């Protein structure tokens, strides 16, 4: 997969809105909520132009019954893909455009982690800029090696998650 990091694009919010409506139509009554997560959900943050969507559902097991309809939208159905209790879908192949991370409503840990990081970066622009600059440097260094790119971000992301979760659990008042 090619690694490209770009400046924030205002169209990402609209792309989320359009795609999330299609997902809402598929998951229908199984859906509790749907969130824009990941770097494209943080205004001003440099990011790979891939829209991350997090549907929250009543019963994760029922999501497998929607695989055919998700495939009709152009998604690859990847199952848990290494994260117990998740259903992961990706769209666009090597030029990925969307990723869908589905969690059951009682999976507080995974959902909170995604929402905490998003909200933390939205309210801490200096750290968002540091993160964006790191991603941009790594993308230039490893333009065709997603694993090396991910490895390069790992320590920063783990520390970011730690700070974000602490902030989130303290009531987002810092």
pLDDT tens-place string over residues 51-84:
999 999 999 999 999 999 999 999 999 999 999 9
pLDDT digits (tens, 9 = 90+) for 105-147: 999 999 999 999 999 999 999 999 999 999 999 999 999 999 9
pLDDT value at position 172? Answer: 62
Does 171 score more than 90 pLDDT?
no
Average pLDDT, the chain: 96
The tokens for 109 are 């840990």
Three-class secondary structure of residue 100 per DSSP:
strand
Q: Of 161, 140, 160, 159, which is closest to residue 149 (Cα–Cα)?
A: 140
pLDDT value at position 94? Answer: 83
Domains of the chain: 11-169 (3.30.460.10)
How far is the first Cα of the chain from the last one, in angstroms, to the nearest whole number? 37
Q: Of 115, 1, 4, which is closest to residue 53 (Cα–Cα)?
A: 115
pTM for the whole thing?
0.94
| E-strand stretches of 67-109 | 75-77, 86-91, 98-104
| Phi then psi dihedrals of residue 92, to 5 deg | 110, 0
CA atoms within 13 A on the CB side of 174: 9
The four Cα atoms 19, 20, 25, 26 give a dihedral, to 10 degrees, of 80
Three-class secondary structure of residue 113 per DSSP:
helix
Q: Of 164, 152, 131, 163, which is closest to residue 44 (Cα–Cα)?
A: 131
Q: Of 106, 112, 95, which is closest to residue 35 (Cα–Cα)?
A: 112
pLDDT value at position 70? Answer: 98
Q: Percent of the chain scored above 90 by pLDDT?
A: 94
How far is residue 41's CA from residue 19's CA, in Å, rounded to a whole number? 14
What value does the mean pLDDT take over residues 96-107? 97
Phi-psi region of 85 (alpha: psi -120 to 50; beta: other; left: phi over 0): left
């Amino acid at each position: 997969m090619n690694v490209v990091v770009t400046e924030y694009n205002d169209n990402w919010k609209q792309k989320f809105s359009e795609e999330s409506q299609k997902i809402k139509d598929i998951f229908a009554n199984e859906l509790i909520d749907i969130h824009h997560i990941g770097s494209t959900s943080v205004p001003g943050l440099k990011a790979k132009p891939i829209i991350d969507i997090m549907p929250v559902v009543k019963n994760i097991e029922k999501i497998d019954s929607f695989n055919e309809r998700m495939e009709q939208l152009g998604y690859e159905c990847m199952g848990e893909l290494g994260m117990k209790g998740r259903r992961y879908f990706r769209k666009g192949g090597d030029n990925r455009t969307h990723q869908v991370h589905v969690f059951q409503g009682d999976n507080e840990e995974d959902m909170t982690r995604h929402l905490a990081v998003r909200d933390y970066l939205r309210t801490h622009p200096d750290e968002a800029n540091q993160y964006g600059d790191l991603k941009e440097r790594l993308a230039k260094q490893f333009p065709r090696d997603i694993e090396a790119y991910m490895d390069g971000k790992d320590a920063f992301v783990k520390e970011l998650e730690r700070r974000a979760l602490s902030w989130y659990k303290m009531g987002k008042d810092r």
